[in-house]
Chains A and B, each alone.
Chain A
Amino acid sequence: MPGAATARRALDSDGHPVITTTGLTKVYRSRGRDVTALDGVDLHVREGEIFGVVGRSGAGKSSLIRCVNLLERPTSGTVVVDGQDLTALAGRGPRAGAALRRARSRIGMVFQHFNLLSSRTVQGNVELPLEILGVPGRERARKARELLGLVGLADHARAWPAQLSGGQKQRVGIARALAGDPKVLLSDEATSALDPETTRSVLDLLRDLNRQLGLTILLITHEMDVVKSICDSAALMRDGKVVESGTLSGLLATPGSELARELFPLGGPPPEGDHTVVDVTFHGDSAARPLISQLSRTYDIDVSILGAAMDTIAGRQVGRMRIELPGRFEDNVVPIGFLRERGLTVELAGSTEAAGTTGSAESVKPVEFVEKTVEEAR
């Protein structure tokens, strides 16, 4: 696995930012009431990375991606794509001027519902952006064929979109998005209308394009699996704000990271009694070393494993484990220090505020309630 890790682009170094949003705010006015969809979003997407924005519906993901190519006009804040300040190009009116249109043609976009023209063949759809760019007919056809080859649909150039499956339609959508030789691809829930298997193949295609063409991809999704399988970095949105963001490996190493927990949910009972329960995250080299058995031998303690999972995230092996140590936390400072020293992320389960509010507190409450009513009944 170390080979694969080095083959991956050296993203942990400071990549040159390709998409930067600063204080991006979008307020919709509907029936006299203001609805804030984006509330001061700062986003930095580095060159060559796949950046995933996750969040529930209504969190503002869709507004965010539409503000990046200014399909939605931000109420305030700036969007810089590939060194160009798009918000400055926008002008005052609702219509896009020539400069903004030219900038948009260099940003590809794929959509959840594909948005192919049923009145055109597959090839005609891929040619459309080239027509807008004023590419002559023969050159258009050549380029469209080449792009269809790239997404594995060379045989379907003459077909109508209605004759294709969902996955094939999205491939056409991707080919079309690539027609303007974009540096950046925006993906608006591109796999959300697809079945798991097709999702897999479309994600693989996106990752191949990311690697082969050095394409920077900003995607929004509500599926954690998408982030897990292709993203280098991720941001979590809630109520129009970015709550957390960073590289996946960085997030996994951050104690109390909500994204890390969602990417890697751990089961196991909540801590109780005279035990200390900790969540341990292994990544990189530590994933391969027998640290738990070393811990047990060194300090002569019995370690119970309550839950564990291994997975590949952003091309790296990552493990997470919930373990139980005998005695209170105060008694276990030394063994926990041992694990931290060896590069593991150790969190006290249920101790951090974030952990308390999201999962356990809510699930514990009903139990207390039931106990109380039972007591009252007595």
Chain B
Amino acid sequence: MTWPEMQPILIQGTIDTLYMVGWSTLVTVLGGLPLGVLLVLTDRGGLLANKTVNKALGAVVNVGRSLPFIVLVVALIPFTRLLIGTSIGPTAAVVPLSIGAIPFFARLVETAVREVDHGLVEAVLSMGGGTGTVVFKALLPQALPSLVAGLTTTVITLVSYSAMAGAVGAEGLGSKAITYGYQRFETGFMIATVVVLLAIVTVVQLLGDGVVRLLSRRERTAS
């Protein structure tokens, strides 16, 4: 394969990968953030302490976390078809990607929120704040650097998940790598795919680290 032959395929693959990762990141945050916060709030001693709910949420997260992603994708095909109308293509891939990443991100959110000093919760309560105030004015802002770091990890995981989804009908760099690199023995194309994926992951990591550094600077200007 020559470079002019590879170029449009690589570009299309990258666009599809970014499309899948982008949308599934959005859905993951919308689903995982509340789930992670609820895991902390419903835990023993939490503001919404509720053993049953906590156990149930924990179980859902654990099931999601313990299934290998490739199995999850296949298992979700009927659900995806129901939701999107098809199980093929990048839009359809957003469904299993999000469902796979939500429990992962929720655990990271849980850890980040749990690290917030309980004294701050107490302080907000003593001012007359309710649970919502505690979450939005104390827990989330205080955990923000850790949350962003967790999001970075999640996005990178999504990039790798999207390649696996490529094996079963989603488009993107993963599917291109399988079609050209694996089935047609195009070593040159394989190398090009690796380079592009590496570049995407590096950019995401650097961006995430930069934001974390910016956010935690104010906390480190200690005397």
Contact = CB atoms under 8 A, between A and B. Distances in A.
B219 A118 contact: yes
Nearest to A186: B126
> For chain B, what secondary structure do more than half of its interface residues adopt (helix, strand, loop), or is it mixed?
helix
Interface of A: 69, 71, 94-96, 101-109, 111, 113, 115-120, 128-129, 131-133, 160, 162-165, 176, 179-180, 186
Contacts, number: 87
Interface of B: 47-49, 117, 119-120, 122-131, 133, 137-138, 141-142, 144, 218-223
B127 A95 contact: no
A162 B124 CA distance: 19
A160 B119 contact: no
B219 A69 contact: no
Contacts of B130: 95-96, 101
B50 to A, nearest CB: 10
A129 B125 CA distance: 10
Given A162-B222, A163-B222, A113 B119 contact: yes
Nearest to A160: B218
The residue in B127, B128, B130 that gathers the most chain A C-beta atoms within 10 A of its C-beta is B127
A315 to B, nearest CB: 30
A79 B87 CA distance: 62
A228 B67 CA distance: 64
Contact of A164 (B122, B138, B223): B223
Contacts of B120: 115, 117
A81 to B, nearest CB: 13
A179 B123 CA distance: 13
A120 B136 CA distance: 13
A162 B219 contact: yes
A162 B221 contact: yes
Contact of B128 (A102, A165, A186): A102
Given A94-B49, A95-B48, A117-B142, A107 B126 contact: yes
Nearest to B131: A95
Contacts of B48: 95
Contact of B219 (A109, A132, A160): A160
A73 to B, nearest CB: 12
B128 A132 contact: yes
Contact of B142 (A119, A128, A163): A119
Contact of A180 (B127, B142, B144, B222): B127
